[in-house]
Amino acid sequence: MKHCNYKMVCIDVDGTLVNDDKFISEITKRELIRVYSNYKIYFILVSSRMPKSLYIIIKELGITELFICYNGALVIDGKLEFGERKFLFESSIDINDAKKIINYTSTFDCHLGLYHFDDWIVNKIDKWALMEIKGTKVTPIVSNLENTLAQWKKEGTAPHKIMIRGLSENLNKIEPFLNINFKNIITFERIRDTTFEITPINVSKATGIEIVSTLLNIKKNEIMGIGDNINDLEMLRYVGYGIAMANSPQILKNVAKEITSSNNKDGIAKALLKHFP
């Protein structure tokens, strides 16, 4: 086994691990498996995606055991068989706050999605849902979201994430509502002009990584993180060595210690080859 200063590499999925066609390139797969075999480090997927989607990647690669979903709201032991639950950490959005958000945003022509563990509930199948289905390889359930929240409240369940997607002009109208009513109550990030991701307050990819690294007894300076979007900002600030993809916004590049190639040009593979020769 070869030696390296890093014992854990935390990798974002969309825009980082997968290319714009939502596939992991053969070069990247080969490098991940090589590094895993030669260095025996931990690869941790850190994503806003749901567990079911991440488990597809885990089974494809066969190189990870723990993974972080919903931007840190859910940390799962990936050694278990698909469909089984072992939450190492869980945080959810207050069900009453979720209801207020859904009630307000329903007045706009937007795609709305509620997520809890492996449940993905949408208000309709539209182009936004189809894009998400293509990317995550998971199919949602179409249902009335207010009724879903009412049922979840009876069951003592609450969403780990809410997704709002639509035209930028509609999201421009929704953003002040979120700022006025939910600032410091929930986390809402506009990861694209057309997309809001809403997750519980006081969780992030960094808090998820802290939970995993504590469990594995790995120090902060022994962790590398690679990401591409604003929801990776806290991760790159937290880890010992942060790498931004070339397709990242400038705010992420500013906090990174290194910039690798884009997700369409095997940026992950190139970073691994450089640091794990």
pLDDT at 94 (0 to 100) = 96
Counting the structural domains of the chain, the total is 2
- Tell me: pLDDT of 83 over 70: no
User: Which whole number is the average pLDDT over 61-80?
Assistant: 85
Question: What pLDDT, on the 0 to 100 scale, is given for residue 186?
Answer: 92
69 and 126 together in one domain: no
Average pLDDT, the chain: 93
Q: Are residues 216 and 194 in the same domain?
A: no
Confidence tier at 249 by pLDDT (50, 70, 90): very high
User: What are the tokens at 14?
Assistant: 């969309």
Q: Say if residue 54 is in the same domain as residue 125.
A: no
Same domain membership, residue 219 and residue 85: yes
Look at residue 84 and tell me if it is in a domain: yes
Report pLDDT for 78: 67
The confidence band for 234, taking pLDDT boundaries of 50, 70 and 90, is: very high
Q: Residue 265: beta bridge partners?
A: none
Looking at the fold, whether 228 and 245 belong to one and the same domain comes out as: yes
Q: Which of 170, 200, 230 is the last residue of a domain?
A: 200
Helix axes 26-39, 267-275, angle to 10 degrees: 30
Q: Any residues with CB less than 8 A from the CB of 29 and at least 6 apart, and which?
A: 60, 61
Same domain, 79 and 212: yes
pLDDT digits (tens, 9 = 90+) for 92-133: 999 999 999 999 999 998 999 999 999 999 999 999 999 999
Kindly state the percentage of the chain with pLDDT values over 90. Answer: 85
Q: Examine the pLDDT at 1 and tell me if it is beyond 90.
A: no
pLDDT at 80 over 60: no
Over residues 140-175, the pLDDT tens digits come to 999 999 999 999 999 999 999 999 999 999 999 999
Residue 2 belongs to a domain: no
Is the domain of 233 the same as that of 136? no
Residues 111 and 233 in one domain: no
pLDDT at 66: 85
Q: Give the pLDDT band (50/70/90) at residue 63.
A: confident
18-40, pLDDT tens digit by residue? 999 999 999 999 999 999 999 98
Looking at 149, 173, 200, the residue that finishes a domain is 200
**pTM for this one?**
0.92
Q: Considering the domain boundaries, does residue 268 fall inside one?
A: yes
Q: Does 152 map to a domain? A: yes
Among the candidates 168, 200, 232, a domain finishes at: 200
Instruction: Write down the pLDDT at residue 264.
Output: 97
226 & 177 share domain: no
CATH number at residue 159: 3.30.1240.10
Query: Average pLDDT, stretch 218-225?
Result: 97
- Is residue 245 very low, low, confident or very high in pLDDT (cuts 50, 70, 90)? very high
- Are 185 and 208 members of one domain? no
Whether residue 175 sits in one domain with residue 100: yes
Q: Please check whether residues 96 and 195 belong to one and the same domain.
A: yes
Residue 228 lies in a domain: yes
Q: Which domain holds residue 263?
A: 8-89+203-275
CATH number at residue 235: 3.40.50.1000
3: in domain: no
Contact yes or no for 71/91 (Cβ under 8 A): no
**pLDDT band at 265, cuts 50/70/90?**
very high
